[in-house]
Amino acid sequence: MAKIILFTGITSLDLPPDRVLEQAIGQLEGVVIMGFDKDGGEYFASSYADGGTVIWLAERMKRALLNVAAD
């Protein structure tokens, strides 16, 4: 049986959400999940109770994403 190695780099292709979530299991101390459900509706969940923490994290990740796109 072949050994499958998952790609962990940056790609312009969409990845299956279940694969991304599975790779995060056991790696995080907190999480914010944003996306679209299968009907196209918005989905949001967070392990942080404080909305300010969620916004702060989203803005930090937005900055990181913009910096990657600028490279």
| pLDDT tens per residue across span 17-66 | 999 999 999 999 999 999 999 999 999 999 999 999 999 999 999 999 89
Distance, C-alpha 3 to centroid of its chain: 25
SS3 category, 68: helix
Asked whether residue 4 is domain-assigned, the answer is no
Measured CA to CA in angstroms, residue 59 lies from 13, 31, 47, 50 at distances of 23, 14, 17, 15
Asked whether residue 25 is domain-assigned, the answer is yes
Asked whether residue 30 is domain-assigned, the answer is yes
Q: Which domain holds residue 33?
A: 17-70
Asked whether residue 12 is domain-assigned, the answer is no
Query: How many domains, the chain?
Result: 1
Asked whether residue 2 is domain-assigned, the answer is no
Asked whether residue 7 is domain-assigned, the answer is no
Asked whether residue 47 is domain-assigned, the answer is yes
If pLDDT is split at 50, 70 and 90, which confidence band does 69 have?
A: low
Quick one: three-class SS letters along 35-63? Answer: EECCCCCEEEEECCCCHHHHHHHHHHHHH
Measure the CA–CA gap between 28 and 57, rounded to whole angstroms: 13
